[in-house]
Amino acid sequence: MQVKQLTIALAGNPNSGKTTIFNILTGTRQKVGNWPGVTVEKKEGTTHKFNRELKIIDLPGTYSLTPFSIEEIVARDFILEECPDVVIDIIDASNLERSLYLATQLREIDCKVMFALNMADMARNRGIKIDGDKLSELLDLPVVFTVGNKNKNIDDLLEKAIELAESDHDIIQHRRVQYNNDTEKSIALLQSFIEDQTRGQLTYNSRWTAIKLIEDDRIVKDRILRQFGAGGEEIISRAETQRKILTGRFNDDPEILMTDERYGFIAGIIKEVHTTSTRQRVDLSRNLDLVLTNRFIGFPIFLFLIWSMFQITFSLGAYPMGWIENGILIFSSLLDSLLPSGILKDLLLDGIIAGVGSVIIFLPNILILFFCIALFEDTGYMSRAAFLMDKIMHLIGLHGKSFIPMLMGFGCSVPAIMATRTLESEKDRILTILITPFMSCSARLPIYIVFAGAFFAEQAGTVIFSIYLAGIVIAIISGRMFRSTLLRGADAPFVMELPPYRVPMVKSLLIHMWDRSKMFLKKMGGIILVGSIIIWTLSSFPADIDYSQDYTANIAGIRAEYDQQLAVESPQQKTILEKERDTVVADLERARKAEKVEKSYMGQIGKVLAPVFAPIGIDWRGGIALLTGFVAKEIVVSTLGVLYATGDNDEPDALGKVLKSSGMTGMGALSMMVFVLLYIPCLATVATIKKETGSSKWMLFSICYSTGLAWALSFLVYHGGRLMGFS
């Protein structure tokens, strides 16, 4: 028996719990991409319930379907053009009045729609009572109460959705918004004219089209003109006539009149179905905000939470990181014993395993970091962080809303820069784009962990936190300078919505964490692998080089010399001599590899770069690693792993130990971290800056400013630390 397929779209306001329900329904069976033609994230997943295969589409969160933002256009276009079998409007039950505006617009589209009154427990705790049966009767649609984060009534919701999708349910006209007589007359006249002109070829519902044209909806106008040409021009002309009639009669724009009518319709529904208890209640969110957004202690708490995040990322991540590292060492030893000597063995051990392996060990740290960020988002604390930063952001002529893309930059700069589209002012948008790359993305974290772990072991978490904090401070200072010179303008007013605190679902947190970490894993098999092979090739050739000494003969001589001594010594002394022999041989092997790399093509490139990086305490190998980091920051670690030949090293934390023994100092390591924090962002970020600003000028400015600033501050850190007596 063939399983029936249905498409269900989830719509709703931001912070209504839509994504939580989507994650419950689809679990890990999700695909994340972009909607065609736009960069708004698209999520879709599948689930099998009640002998049906259900395709679930998570529409962007919107407050309405008016074409003012990309999210609203995407949500509306999908419902109109893809015609899902059912649209489930996820409604925050504690904010019913606000949520119903989107619901009235969905009803006007004439799609099959139902309500999920989510967070019903929170509404009940606030003394709010909603008569679901009455609401269902008034709007003639199914209503289900849900508690998404506790997985309550989700199956009931799906069962009702399937029942609605497969029913012959007709939308009753009088259950929608009824406008005043004059407006209804204009709608009816225009609707009749549209039907005559289009003769059944109109893609959309004719009443809805008439309403949108009277509201002067630019997208609907453009589509009518494209589809019907001269006939479309006549329709637009008739719509303009009706607009003028309504404007003259009410002395106001028709879109404002119709919005008022919708809110009047909503107010009537609220009176019928919504009651609030007068009993005393404890508002947990409000009480928590008295502490977490307090003007005196809120910001220190925010800093403490961020510091704790990096402490946990480093300390807790050290255990699984060690397990993965030991697994890689075992795998390397196994390959070393199985494969014959030759170029393939060298490529696998010194190229691929040294490069990819030196990065993949940081997967646990990346997972923990993203888990913490997801925790901040799902609990509602992320909005409070933006609120706390509002006053600081005003120092650079921005507001707290600009801090949200910057916070997203801790994960990845590309979606963070795309998120600046929500900012209304173009100058605010460009300014936020320019300073967002100073937020340390997750790709930089492995570099910090290597250097902080090797040179500042006991204070590694604090050092990493300080680097992240320095990025925020430098972003603010740079922003103030840009606002005073290149991007002058007044502060934009802004109201930050603070959603209620919620207990996050572990499943939802894990899904968020995994979704974001998949990008890291994809890079392992893609750009990191290719980069490691290229770096190994350039550092291994030319194969025939003139060494400063005959390493093979010297190693053989040392072994023979020690073998003579071992033949006559006691067992206890033999153990000491064997350790001495192995140390001397290892030093010679390391010297041979270092000389080979130094005289390779990569070494020749490094010698050209050396004068640039020497003043900031970074040797030629570090300079090459930084150069390759332009492609992707993770490649910095894999490049160092290849150049220092850690692939066949049987010690844990091999790269850190080799870096420390190579002559690099603590101040040189700190200088390297500062440079990585500030210098030119990765190739994908640079391309996104050009795309979002629409200008090569801003892209080049970002590259030059960030790299110049990185060198100058690294110079100050390196030489300032040395003057103060630090090594």
Token code pair at residue 235:
């329709």
- Which pLDDT does position 698 carry in this prediction? 93
- Which pLDDT does position 714 carry in this prediction? 95
Specify whether the backbone of 143 is left (phi greater than 0), alpha (psi in -120 to 50) or beta: beta
For the chain, percent of residues with pLDDT exceeding 90 = 16
For 454, the enclosing helix (H) or strand (E) is helix 445-455
Is there a contact between 63 and 102 (Cβ–Cβ < 8 Å)?
yes
How many Cα atoms sit within 13 Å of 664 on the Cβ side? 30
pLDDT at 369 over 50: yes
Is there a contact between 210 and 190 (Cβ–Cβ < 8 Å)?
yes
What's the rounded mean pLDDT across residues 471-494? 79
Token code pair at residue 518:
């998949």
pLDDT at 493 over 80: no
What's the rounded mean pLDDT across residues 612-630? 89
pLDDT in tens, 664-718: 888 999 999 999 999 988 888 888 898 888 889 999 999 999 999 999 999 999 9
- Which pLDDT does position 699 carry in this prediction? 92
- Which pLDDT does position 356 carry in this prediction? 79
- Which pLDDT does position 437 carry in this prediction? 92
Token code pair at residue 598:
């130094």
CA 141 to chain centroid, in Å, comes to 36
Is there a contact between 202 and 209 (Cβ–Cβ < 8 Å)?
yes
pLDDT at 281 over 50: no
pLDDT in tens, 385-442: 877 877 777 777 776 667 777 877 887 787 788 777 767 677 888 888 999 999 888 8
Q: How far is CA 726 from CA 426, 446, 665, 721, in A?
A: 45, 24, 9, 5
Residues near 583 by Cβ (< 8 Å), separated by ≥ 6?
Answer: none
pLDDT in tens, 528-542: 788 778 888 888 888
- What's the CA gap between 243 and 310, in Å, rounded? 58
- Which pLDDT does position 649 carry in this prediction? 52
pLDDT at 249 over 90: no
Strands 4-12 and 52-58 come out as: parallel
The per-residue DSSP string of 380-436 comes to THHHHHHHHTHHHHHTTT--GGGHHHHHHTTT-HHHHHHGGGG-S-HHHHHHHHHHG
Strands 113-118 and 52-58 come out as: unpaired
pLDDT at 104 over 80: yes
pLDDT at 568 over 60: yes
Strands 30-34 and 41-49 come out as: antiparallel
- Which pLDDT does position 32 carry in this prediction? 60
Lowest mean pLDDT among 306-320, 635-649, 658-672: 635-649
What's the rounded mean pLDDT across residues 136-142? 87
- Which pLDDT does position 280 carry in this prediction? 45
Instruction: Please say whether the dihedral angle defined by the alpha carbons of residues 133, 135, 137 and 140, taken in this order, is positive or negative.
Output: negative
What's the rounded mean pLDDT across residues 41-69? 84
Banded pLDDT at 142 (limits 50, 70, 90): very high
- What's the CA gap between 240 and 224, in Å, rounded? 14
- Which pLDDT does position 471 carry in this prediction? 92
pLDDT at 35 over 60: no
pLDDT in tens, 416-431: 887 777 676 778 888 8
